[in-house]
Amino acid sequence: FLSRGRSGVSALLRSLLSVFTFPTILPRWLGVPNQLAVTPSLGRKVTGTLFGHRRGHVSFAVQYDPRSEPVLLAELAVSTSALVKEMSSGMVRIALECEKIHQPRGGVGGRAAAVRLFGEPTWTMYCNGRKCGYAATRACTESDWHVLRTVQSVSVGAGVIPVVDDGGKSSAAEGELLYMRARFERVVGSRDSEAFYMLNPDGNGGPELSIFLLRV
């Protein structure tokens, strides 16, 4: 069902498995109410899955339920191997920023049609403060569903997933398809800011992974 692969992949997976931690303090710049900063459990717990070919771009899927359709599916601007390297070195913070577009008023009562934060198509991505390109949200493809269905019984873990042939370019050149799955705390700061914090199942401190969505 899930295989370990070669020794090099096992080393990558060990690096992935070493970073399941949860920060207890929210960053000030997220703009959330002060009471959330001291009570992060007020956020909603969701399932987050990071997956991608070792030399291909990594995707981040958010599900309210392990078997539900993703409410957010973003292709990040880094390769899976690059993200693994960042995570193995310690704390990782990913910020996805997009510009707030002031739409013309219209519709009932002259109100502008609001775009949901998860509906923004493109984002400028920063990893630990460094700009690294552009991320994009997209619809869930059959290949994505193959990944999510394969790991739907996994609550916390990492591994190698059998590759499904979707008729696209050969995946052999991009390496094995890796995944990391965990529970995340989703904290809503406003209609223009949300954050996802990886939960540590053991409750211990250490390196962290945080993903922020900001509309500025």
Residues 6+ apart with CB under 8 A from 87: 15, 16, 18, 19, 207, 209
**Contact 119/138 with Cβ under 8 angstroms?**
no
Q: What is the pTM of this model?
A: 0.76
DSSP code for 202: T
Q: Tens digits of per-residue pLDDT, 96-128? A: 999 988 665 555 554 445 789 999 999 999 999
* Distance in angstroms (rounded) separating the CA atoms of residues 154 and 195: 22
The span from the CA of 47 to the CA of 68, in Å, is 10
Residue 193's beta-bridge partner residues?
190, 214
Cα separation values, 214 from 8, 150, 193, Å: 35, 31, 5
pLDDT, tens digit, 9 for 90 and up, residues 145-203: 999 999 999 989 999 987 755 555 545 567 789 999 999 999 999 999 999 999 887 76
